[in-house]
């Protein structure tokens, strides 16, 4: 029998072979923290914009662009960019609550410090209702599972759709798990003007064949003026 996994969810993994420098680690280990549900996060929410993380920011952006292009293969000029980025600090017995990332397209987690033998991230199946539930199976697989987990390690980066619900299990190790999470949005041209879904999200990214000249209004008549809308100017 041949089985096809239709419409799979892309979860991408990258290894940061160079690793962090001592100065980068020191910077991430000494940030002001604020309470979160289950753990704490950095008070500063735009870490990858800091000059101290220029090299890491460049590498993560390259990974995000590769993930985006490989999966979505955009025809027009559109690319993801990182919006917010913050650190998570999870000590022994703490966890990171089950959640999604609204107002984001692709989200990611870079592991600054993790125990590969114990630390995991869980992802949950996006379907919300089961007409028939057959549990437990003899063996778990990608078709009958409601969740799936991966071990994580220091220097690892995982990218996934921001709408995919996920959760991080309580830390079992004496070592604090430290990760850097981030969200992205898109800039350029998305959708399609002909299907009334076209949207220009910053910059002059309108495909030339989609541009339509403005029509002049004749005196005394309601004109039909077509203009491109750039949300960066709103």
Q: Look at residue 64 in the predicted model and tell me its pLDDT.
A: 98
Question: Which of 23-37, 103-117, 196-210 is predicted with the least confidence, judged by mean pLDDT?
Answer: 196-210
- Is the domain of 120 the same as that of 152? yes
Q: Which residues of 49-82 are buried (b: 16+ CB within 10 A; e: fewer)?
A: ebeebeebbebbbebbeebbeeeeeeeeebbbeb
CA angle 12/16/22 to nearest 5° reads 145
Q: Tokens at residue 75, please?
A: 């025809």
In tens, the pLDDT along 34-46 reads 999 999 999 999 9
Banded pLDDT at 213 (limits 50, 70, 90): very low
When divided into structural domains, the chain yields a total of 2
- Is the domain of 112 the same as that of 216? no
Please report whether residue 161 resides in a domain: yes
CATH code of the domain in which 141 resides: 2.60.120.620
Residue 26 has pLDDT above 80, yes or no: yes
What mean pLDDT value characterizes the chain? 87
- Is the domain of 83 the same as that of 182? yes
Banded pLDDT at 233 (limits 50, 70, 90): very low
């Amino acid at each position: 029998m041949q089985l096809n996994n239709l419409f799979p969810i892309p979860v991408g993994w990258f290894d940061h072979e160079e690793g962090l420098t001592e100065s980068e680690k020191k910077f991430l280990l000494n940030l002001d923290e604020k309470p979160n549900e289950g753990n704490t996060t950095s008070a500063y929410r735009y870490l990858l914009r800091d000059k101290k993380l220029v090299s890491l920011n460049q590498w993560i952006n390259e990974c995000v662009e590769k993930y985006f292009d490989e999966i979505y293969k955009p025809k027009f000029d559109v690319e993801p960019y990182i919006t917010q980025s913050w650190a998570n600090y999870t000590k022994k017995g703490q966890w990171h609550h089950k959640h999604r990332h609204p107002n984001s397209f692709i989200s990611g987690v870079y592991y600054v410090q993790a125990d590969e033998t114990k630390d995991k991230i869980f992802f949950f199946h996006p379907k919300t209702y089961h007409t028939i539930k057959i549990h437990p199976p003899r063996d778990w697989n990608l078709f009958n599972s409601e969740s799936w987990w991966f071990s994580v390690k220091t220097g690892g980066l995982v990218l996934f759709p921001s709408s995919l619900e996920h959760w991080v299990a309580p830390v079992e190790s004496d070592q604090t798990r430290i990760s850097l999470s981030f969200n992205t949005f898109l800039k350029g041209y998305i959708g399609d003007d002909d299907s009334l879904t076209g949207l220009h999200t910053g910059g002059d990214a309108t495909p030339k064949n989609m541009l339509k000249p403005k029509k002049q209004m004749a005196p005394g008549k309601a004109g039909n003026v077509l203009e491109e809308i750039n949300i960066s100017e709103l």
